[in-house]
Structure 1
């Protein structure tokens, strides 16, 4: 949803993070009760004094809330409909989908463990193994854990079953496999699979 909000207007995310825009103005030259000129004072603008830019910023907040409300299921809407701010709505949605910070940390640790012990499953095809590995890498990226391309490639090659050993050794001995994307490496392996 965050990506969708940013694609509509990056100001939406700013509204969620910083709260609604409140148009303000500085009043200068205020005279104190003793007749001296006081310091400048920042006050909220009267609605009639708001510029079109001010009104646009105020409306961004409302539109961001509207997008979030329309982008969730009705049962989740019931959990957020009384949230006082867009930030509260966002945090509630995030916790409902991703869990608390502790849950997210545990998920990341689980994904790291799955990555470290990743192996192909006997009887599964190269395509199924690649899909499972790619899903694992995507999950890790969501948790801001990214591995170097060469490390991911090596991990994938080493996870393949023994029938692939001669192919993986020849690929590992090639000078440029470390520079391939995982998709390109998969393409090379798929070519070998068709020739086997």
Structure 2
């Protein structure tokens, strides 16, 4: 069976090693395919309802024989959603979700297998916060490597619901850099727009300064800093 497409875009194939990236791609794919998929994914299949003839204060499931064409279409969307999710899976994960009764059940099962229970996720967040609080540069590490490691850590914490103010993130990055960059870091920190400056802009200023220092070492015949790119 060939993969389904939205325009020229195929269903994102499940990637266990890069699960977060795959999850983002799948959400974007489903939104592009049909915005109603997200409602089903989050709240379960559409179930047509009607006012209970015996009690007007409550609703009951509408008999299939009374479903409108639109209701039939909405109900059928869950089958389409299940097909997309199955089409995206590798054989191992496919076997895990084949017994699921709805698209939401499939999504919840995938997340449980990949992310663990709520207790596991809370423990993971605690570990990430500890890593953030202790974050610093490694011996011989350059600005780019520090920036990339911090960015990955921030993205992982954000996925678990933890976010920091922009000025706190900027401050953490500057404090983590090697001590020979302290003077430039202090200059950047004293800028009037420091609290609102994006991290990539702070990184750009520090990376430029690091490159200038390395260039001076070359010009004046000193040894290269040996820092990673």
SS in 1 for 2:145: helix
Say whether 1:14 aligns with 2:39.
yes
Query: What does residue 3 of structure 1 align with?
Result: 27
Q: CA RMSD in A?
A: 2.0
Q: Under a length normalisation based on structure 2, what TM-score does the superposition of the two structures give?
A: 0.74
Paired with 2:60 and 2:165, the residues of 1 have a C-alpha distance of 50
Q: CA deviation at 1:9?
A: 2.5
Paired with 2:188 and 2:62, the residues of 1 have a C-alpha distance of 67
Q: Under a length normalisation based on structure 1, what TM-score does the superposition of the two structures give?
A: 0.86
Query: What does residue 63 of structure 2 align with?
Result: 45
Query: What does residue 137 of structure 1 align with?
Result: 154
Paired with 2:38 and 2:186, the residues of 1 have a C-alpha distance of 48
Paired residues in the alignment total: 186
Paired with 1:72 and 1:79, the residues of 2 have a C-alpha distance of 10
Runs of 4+ in 1 over 3 A off after TM superposition: 24-28, 38-43
Query: What does residue 179 of structure 2 align with?
Result: 162
Bigger-Rg structure (1/2) = 1
SS in 1 for 2:171: helix
Paired with 2:152 and 2:61, the residues of 1 have a C-alpha distance of 52
Q: Contact 2:78/2:102 (CA < 8 Å) preserved in 1?
A: no
SS in 2 for 1:195: helix
Query: What does residue 117 of structure 1 align with?
Result: 134
Q: 1:39 to 1:101 in 2, by over 3 A?
A: closer
Q: CA deviation at 1:11?
A: 1.7
SS in 1 for 2:164: coil
Q: CA deviation at 1:43?
A: 5.2
